[in-house]
Amino acid sequence: MSPLELRASLSLASLFALRMLGLFLILPVFAVHARDLPGGASQTLVGLALGVYGLTQGLLQIPFGMASDRWGRKRVIVLGLVLFAVGSFVAAAAQDIYVVIAGRALQGAGAISAAVMAMATDMTRVQHRTKAMAMMGGSIGLMFALSLVGAPWLYPLIGMGGLFALVGVLALAGIGVTLLVVPTEPSASHDPRREVRPAMLLAVVSHPELLRLNLGIFILHVVQIAIFVVVPVALVSHAGLPLSEHWKVYLPVVLGSFALMAPPLLHAERRGRLKFLFLAAVVLLAAVELGLAVCFDNFPFLVGLLLFFFIAFNILEACLPSLVSRIAPASSRGTALGVYNTTQALGLAVGGSIGGWLAQHFGDRAVFVFGFAAVALWLLVASSMRVPVDAAEGVS
């Protein structure tokens, strides 16, 4: 990667990580904190406070992506970060569960992911695009791990209001990064005269290859959130590991997965075997789900399977948006990535609901059996996908 590509990729990945931090940071502690809030005794309202972020993200990714195609990536990113910061400070000042829900909805309204990813594709050559997407995809696993480590430690020190305020301050810092650190976007990445037509959105939504990829990111995030309805409880009940010490599992597992996913990803890019690596990662994910269904209550096996889960997860998070950006026409790349991020956000919202319902009514193993079935369906759909020539051959 050239210095400009590296600078763009790292700075944009930091903005992407900020969005995921806003989603994940309250997950380990909010359900306990909410009990002391008016209205917090309702599990439905607590679930809404957690999930409304993903809902507004999902609803607004497409409009934000289309807006970035017409008016420019940076303008849309700054607007999204402003909304994100406002929502964070509203939630920080909340005295009841209803204001928290409003603040979380505003946080989610800062739907910058499509614009950030579209800008990354604008500023990287095709042979380096998967590396840029790997930085962004990897930030999801990293922010999840950091949240699980940091939230239980920070909460006693600064409280829930402090956690929300911290995220708001980081959003404001992100505006500075966007304006001062992210390189100037190419003039071709937007055109004020471009007409964003409903037909463009329809073409993106109905594109067969994009449909396969959008189904994939939806299933990937349904599975991600669903298994973490069960895994933290398993670490407590079967391994005797208190919540405050879960970082001892998550942090080395996630960092190890980053180290182990890089060599095959780089090899696949050089050898033009991106499709093979993609399908192999889906197979690995299915095997992990099946393994968890059998032995999630065995601590050493659970840790090992989590490592393989994050290896597959990080590879797929890198490959999926890269393939979307290569298949979508340049004139509607932001729109295509908006649809992609919409299905991703909806997967986050659906995964928690399905995982909790299955665990409550059918037991913990049902969550993993469901995950195996969902990933098997994905493998069936993805096996016949057509990879663009430049992705298959590794040329620009």
Task: Give the CATH number of the domain where residue 20 resides.
Answer: 1.20.1250.20
Query: What mean pLDDT is predicted for residues 317-324?
Result: 80
pLDDT of residue 98: 92
Encoded amino acid at 209, one letter: E
Instruction: Quote the distance between the C-alpha of residue 370 and its chain's center.
Output: 20
pLDDT of residue 165: 92
pLDDT > 90? residue 160: no
Distance between CA atoms of 358 and 366, rounded to whole angstroms? 6
Spatial neighbors of 294 by CB under 8 A, at least 6 apart, are none
Confidence of residue 388 (pLDDT cuts 50, 70, 90): low
Q: Has residue 225 been placed in a domain?
A: yes
Query: What mean pLDDT is predicted for residues 294-316?
Result: 89
| 97, 49 contact by CB (below 8 A) | yes
| 23, 348 contact by CB (below 8 A) | yes
Query: What mean pLDDT is predicted for residues 295-300?
Result: 86
Residue 392 neighbours by CB distance under 10 Å: 14
Three-state SS at 239 = coil
Distance between CA atoms of 243 and 269, rounded to whole angstroms? 39
Confidence of residue 379 (pLDDT cuts 50, 70, 90): very high
Confidence of residue 199 (pLDDT cuts 50, 70, 90): low
| 56, 63 contact by CB (below 8 A) | no
Average pLDDT, the chain: 81
Encoded amino acid at 57, one letter: Q
Query: What mean pLDDT is predicted for residues 314-332?
Result: 78
Least Cα distance to 200 among 77, 324, 387, 339 occurs for: 339
Among 90-99, 159-168, 191-200, where is mean pLDDT lowest? 191-200
Q: Has residue 245 been placed in a domain?
A: yes
Distance between CA atoms of 215 and 235, rounded to whole angstroms? 30
Tens of pLDDT along 119-133?
A: 887 887 776 766 776
Tens of pLDDT along 330-348?
A: 667 767 777 887 888 888 7
Least Cα distance to 191 among 71, 305, 76, 281 occurs for: 71
Q: Has residue 396 been placed in a domain?
A: no
State the Cα angle at 217 between 211 and 222, rounded to 5°.
Answer: 125
Least Cα distance to 124 among 268, 11, 6 occurs for: 6
Q: Has residue 77 been placed in a domain?
A: yes
User: Under the phi-then-psi rule, with left for phi > 0, alpha for psi from -120 to 50, and beta for the rest, what region is 77?
Assistant: alpha
Residue 68 CB-density burial (10 A; 0-12 exposed, 13-18 middle, 19+ buried): buried
- Residues in the chain, total: 396
Query: From start to end of 7-152, where are the E strands?
Result: none
pLDDT of residue 346: 84
Instruction: Quote the distance between the C-alpha of residue 138 and its chain's center.
Output: 9
Confidence of residue 395 (pLDDT cuts 50, 70, 90): very low
Q: Has residue 323 been placed in a domain?
A: yes
Q: Has residue 190 been placed in a domain?
A: no
Percent of the chain with pLDDT over 70: 88
Confidence of residue 31 (pLDDT cuts 50, 70, 90): low
Q: Has residue 189 been placed in a domain?
A: no
Query: For residue 242, what are the domain limits?
Result: 3-184+195-384
pLDDT > 50? residue 393: no
pLDDT of residue 340: 83
State the Cα angle at 28 between 22 and 29, rounded to 5°.
Answer: 95
pLDDT > 50? residue 396: no
Query: What mean pLDDT is predicted for residues 249-275?
Result: 81
Number of domains the chain is built from = 1
Q: Which helix (H) or strand (E) holds 349?
A: helix 333-362
Distance between CA atoms of 85 and 119, rounded to whole angstroms? 21
Q: Has residue 380 been placed in a domain?
A: yes
pLDDT > 80? residue 39: yes
Percent of the chain with pLDDT over 90: 18
Residue 31 neighbours by CB distance under 10 Å: 15
pLDDT > 60? residue 238: yes
Confidence of residue 394 (pLDDT cuts 50, 70, 90): very low
The conformation of residue 181, written as its DSSP 8-state character, comes to T
Instruction: Identify the top-confidence range among 59-68, 160-169, 177-186, 259-268.
Output: 160-169
pLDDT of residue 198: 65
Residue 198 CB-density burial (10 A; 0-12 exposed, 13-18 middle, 19+ buried): exposed
Least Cα distance to 372 among 282, 306, 290, 268 occurs for: 290
Residue 383 neighbours by CB distance under 10 Å: 11
Cβ burial 242-255 (10 Å sphere, 16+ → b, else e): eeeebbebbeebbe
